[in-house]
Amino acid sequence: MMETSDAWLLLIVSLPSNSATARMRIWRTLKTIGCGALRDGAYLLPLRPAQERQLKELAAETEREGGTAWLLNVASRSEQEYRALRELFSRGEAWSALASDLALASKALPTLAPADINRTLRKLRREYDAIATIDYFPGAESAAAQAAWMDYVHSAERLLAPGEPSASSAPIQLLDRASYQGRRWATRKRMWIDRVASAWLIRRFIDPQAEFLWLETPADCPADALGFDFDGAVFTHAGERVSFEVLLASFGLEGDPALQRLGAMVHVLDVGGGFVPEAAGFEAAMTGARHTTEDDDQLLAMMGGVLDAFYIHFSNAATAQ
């Protein structure tokens, strides 16, 4: 039986021979959005709303340049034909090339200055995003590439933000949320994934009136503050759990499927070792927010909205199951 996404968009374009500049511009756009070429002038994409909008815009541009364009909906006639067309969108070579780049970059990480680490991160992120955007049929290769990318980001962040906690072996005790209201909570400044998600979780589900302190170093944590996500903190990595997951377990929140999904996403981004489809999107949003502000209160406000949206998304997904 054929898969349900066996419908395609077929764009057939023809431009005047004297429109070399327009031809090159349109060809580059077709390549950028990952079209499969059936032959010169005939291009294919999966039938999806975003791709349909892109091809409609290209068809309109072709006509403005004096050419002709037809955008058609077509369907595979057999499973064999469908699989042959899917092969036009294989990104295996691109993922393998990125994996090689990540392996080389990982070896070089300890020798790089922080500015060079950030520069390499930006470059590799652009490569990763460019492939992921046009990987219309992700599979094992993309999952392996995302895991390698997350591992690289984690290693880079450890160098850029020293002080990441090591895992404690202490058992996690179930706590009464009523005893943790209106408290001061403290973590290292310039938050990254686990810290910002933990701060959101604290204010959203544990202590709505929480006051946050952003520490230069863990040694600056006041005695009356509840520290999180650093060695010696009240709430930090324990066993296989990152700080966000420890907070879930400590306050009896593990029964919420959406928070569990968020925990899995934070885990992958913080310590690697797995695959969560939404992780790359959250990481990109976090990176953009950190470039926007160096104020952790503003960062929490910005990322709080993103985490609210992810929570709703995961809640709806759990309800639909």
Query: What pLDDT digit, counting tens, does each position of 25-36 carry?
Result: 999 999 999 999
Res 63 pLDDT > 50: yes
Asked whether 172 and 246 are in contact (CB, 8 A), the reply is yes
pLDDT greater than 60 at residue 281: yes
Q: What is the DSSP letter of 168?
A: B
Query: For residue 6, what pLDDT band results from cuts at 50, 70 and 90?
Result: confident
The residue type at 308: D
Express as a percent the part of the chain with pLDDT over 90. Answer: 65
Contacts 24+ apart (CB under 8 A), 102-107: 102/145, 102/148, 102/149, 102/152, 103/148, 105/152, 106/151, 106/152, 106/155
Q: How much is the pLDDT for 2?
A: 39
In this prediction, residue 162 carries a pLDDT of 63
pLDDT band at 161, cuts 50/70/90?
low
Residue 7 clears pLDDT 80, i.e. is over it: yes
What mean pLDDT value characterizes the chain?
90
Considering the chain, tell me which residue range(s) the CATH 3.30.70.930 domain(s) occupy. Answer: 7-88
Does position 4 have pLDDT exceeding 50, yes or no?
Answer: no
Cα separation of 193 and 240, whole Å?
16
Give yes or no for a contact between 154 and 102, defined as CB atoms under 8 angstroms apart.
Answer: no
Please say if the pLDDT value at position 318 is more than 80: no
| pLDDT for 3 beyond 50 | no
Q: Say how many C-beta atoms besides its own lie within 10 A of residue 226's C-beta.
A: 20
What's the pLDDT score for residue 305? 96
- Residue by residue, what is the 3-state secondary structure of 82-116? HHHHHHHHCCHHHHHHHHHHHHHHHHHHHHCCHHH
DSSP-derived secondary structure for 36-89 = EEEETTEEEEES-HHHHHHHHHHHHHHHHTT-EEEEEEEE-SSHHHHHHHHGGG
Residue 164 has pLDDT above 90, yes or no: no
pLDDT tens figures, 166-192: 767 778 999 999 999 999 999 999 999
Burial of 219 (0-12, 13-18, 19+ CB in 10 A): exposed
Output the pLDDT for position 193: 92
- pLDDT tens by residue, 213-262: 999 989 999 999 999 999 889 999 998 899 999 999 999 999 999 999 99
The pLDDT of residue 68 is: 94
- pLDDT bucket at 5, cuts 50 / 70 / 90: low
Distance CA 240, CA 201 (A): 19
pLDDT score recorded for residue 1: 36
Average pLDDT on 126-155 reads 87
Instruction: Band the pLDDT of 51: cuts 50, 70, 90.
Output: very high
CATH of domain 7-88: 3.30.70.930
